[in-house]
Amino acid sequence: MRRAVYPGSFDPLTNGHLEVLQTAAQLFDEVVIAILVNPDKRPLFSVEERMQLIAEAVKGIPNVRVDQFQGLLVDYIRRIQAHVIVRGVREPADYENEVKLAHMNRSMEPSAVTVFLPTHPTLSYVSSSLVKQVAAYGGDVRAHVPECVAVALRKKYMNTP
């Protein structure tokens, strides 16, 4: 089985993430969206909330599952027996940073191969940080995130049901 891991914080999942995931799902037998649990960060959504939102957003993609991990990504991929790491790239600066991470991961786990998937040009400016900033000021982010995420953002920032 060709299993790939798509790691990240996904706080929140954007349509750019989703587009990369859909492409990866066509290339691999299984794609695991792995949410990094980082105790040093203060995310807007808890890990459990992110897992639920992502599960809702990907329910139509049968070969995708959602998981979480702490620590080194290479330890996680060894544990779940994956050898491919999927990374989305929006712009050249993303690529430069991702290449460094890919080389470090490969140095620690020689079987780990990183696959870079560019986002669609119409989504290249969308980031989780930017989406949160717009949502915090009451902006409409429905064009940039799955509907379930837009609803959850509205609830977080506007305290509406």
Given 50, 87, 128, 144, which residue is catalytic? 128
Sign of the four-CA dihedral 124, 65, 114, 3: negative
Query: Rounded to the nearest 10 degrees, how much is the dihedral formed by the CA atoms of 113, 116, 35, 72?
Result: 40
Active-site residue flag, 90? yes
Between CA 50 and CA 76 the distance in angstroms is 19
Given 17, 87, 132, 144, which residue is catalytic? 17
Active-site residue flag, 120? no
E strands present in the chain:
3-8, 30-36, 64-69, 84-89, 113-118
Given 2, 3, 9, 41, which residue is catalytic? 41
Active-site residue flag, 100? no
Active-site residue flag, 128? yes
- Please identify every residue annotated as catalytic: 17, 41, 90, 128
